[in-house]
């Protein structure tokens, strides 16, 4: 299945961490939930082996399966699409462009460029693993976050801006401000969506909500986020 150009229609995505355990029944419920895509990714403990294993399990179902590449060693072939994060508010150039340049230098001939989509990450929870690893300056005002987002959208022309609050529900007014500032990019929001109520609030402030942790803490509530978002358009 070719997913190119279909990203803008995503309203809901479940993010699965290859380093965490899901039994068969849980995975089936997630893949048949009506979510627009399963995004495979994590900030630590992601390996080739656990990524291959999760891909092969998700492939039993028809839901699009997309890899968010955070470890070069875990760039497994066979996904529908590859999302490549660049952390716009990192204090270290490696996370903005350095790792990417090294990857291209080593593996350019292996990269399925037609299936690669860049994401401009803005990490706003200073305590999350991604912020710590990437040395993100997470204390941005709404106006500063919107400025980063516009650089991604208007200058770099990235198709996705991702506001990452992993683990906590973010400042949804800030998210709305960033949303209004975008011209073309799709706004992903992730962080602290645990149930239908938080899903609805977050979905009102962005284009695409990403639900991760809740799948591992309260699956039923996490599954209810799909209908909460989809009903908005009925």
Question: Counting contacts by CB under 6 A, is residue 186 touching ligand 1GP?
Answer: no
Which one, 55 or 188, has the nearer CB to ligand 1GP? Answer: 188
Question: Counting contacts by CB under 6 A, is residue 129 touching ligand 1GP?
Answer: no
Question: Which residues have C-beta within 8 Å of that of residue 193, sequence separation ≥ 6?
Answer: 169, 199, 202, 209, 210, 211, 214, 225
Chain position carrying tokens 């996904």 = 79
Smallest gap from Cβ 167 to ligand 1GP, in A, equals: 5
Smallest gap from Cβ 149 to ligand 1GP, in A, equals: 16
Question: Binding residue for ligand 1GP (CB under 6 A) from 145, 191, 198, 202?
Answer: 191
Question: Which residues have C-beta within 8 Å of that of residue 21, sequence separation ≥ 6?
Answer: none
Question: Binding residue for ligand 1GP (CB under 6 A) from 190, 196, 223, 224?
Answer: 190
Question: Binding residue for ligand 1GP (CB under 6 A) from 51, 166, 198, 224?
Answer: 166
Torsion of CA 56, 123, 160, 31, to 10 degrees: 30
Question: Which of these ranges, 48-56, 75-83, 101-109, 210-218, lies near ligand 1GP under the rule CB under 6 A?
Answer: 210-218
Which one, 26 or 154, has the nearer CB to ligand 1GP? Answer: 26
3-class DSSP assignment, residue 141 = coil
Question: Which of these ranges, 24-32, 104-112, 133-141, 164-172, lies near ligand 1GP under the rule CB under 6 A?
Answer: 164-172
Which one, 166 or 186, has the nearer CB to ligand 1GP? Answer: 166
Within 10 Å of residue 60's Cβ, how many Cβ atoms?
11
Interhelix angle 48-58/24-31, rounded to 10 degrees, is 60
The phi-psi region of residue 124 (left if phi > 0; otherwise alpha if psi is between -120 and 50; otherwise beta) is alpha
- Binding site residues, ligand 1GP, CB under 6 A: 15, 164, 166-167, 190-193, 210-214
């Amino acid at each position: 299945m070719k997913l190119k150009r279909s990203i803008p229609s995503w309203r809901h995505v479940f993010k699965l961490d290859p380093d965490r355990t899901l039994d068969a029944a849980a995975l089936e419920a997630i893949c048949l939930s009506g979510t627009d895509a399963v995004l495979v990714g994590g900030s630590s403990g992601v390996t080739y082996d656990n990524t291959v294993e999760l891909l092969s399990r998700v492939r039993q179902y028809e839901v699009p399966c997309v890899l968010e590449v955070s470890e070069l060693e875990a760039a497994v072939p066979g996904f529908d699409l590859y999302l490549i994060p660049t952390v716009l508010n990192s204090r270290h150039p490696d996370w903005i462009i350095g790792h990417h340049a090294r990857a291209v230098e080593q593996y350019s001939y292996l990269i399925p460029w037609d299936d690669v989509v860049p994401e401009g990450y803005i990490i706003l929870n200073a305590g999350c693993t991604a912020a710590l690893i990437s040395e993100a300056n997470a204390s941005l005002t709404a106006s500063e976050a919107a400025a980063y987002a516009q650089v991604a959208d208007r200058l770099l022309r990235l198709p996705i801006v991702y506001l990452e609050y992993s683990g906590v529900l973010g400042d949804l007014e800030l998210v709305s401000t960033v949303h209004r500032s975008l011209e073309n990019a799709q706004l992903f929001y992730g962080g602290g969506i645990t149930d239908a109520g938080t899903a609805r609030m977050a979905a009102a402030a962005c284009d695409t909500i990403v639900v991760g942790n809740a799948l591992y803490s309260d699956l039923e509530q996490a599954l209810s986020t799909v209908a909460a978002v989809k009903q908005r358009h009925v």
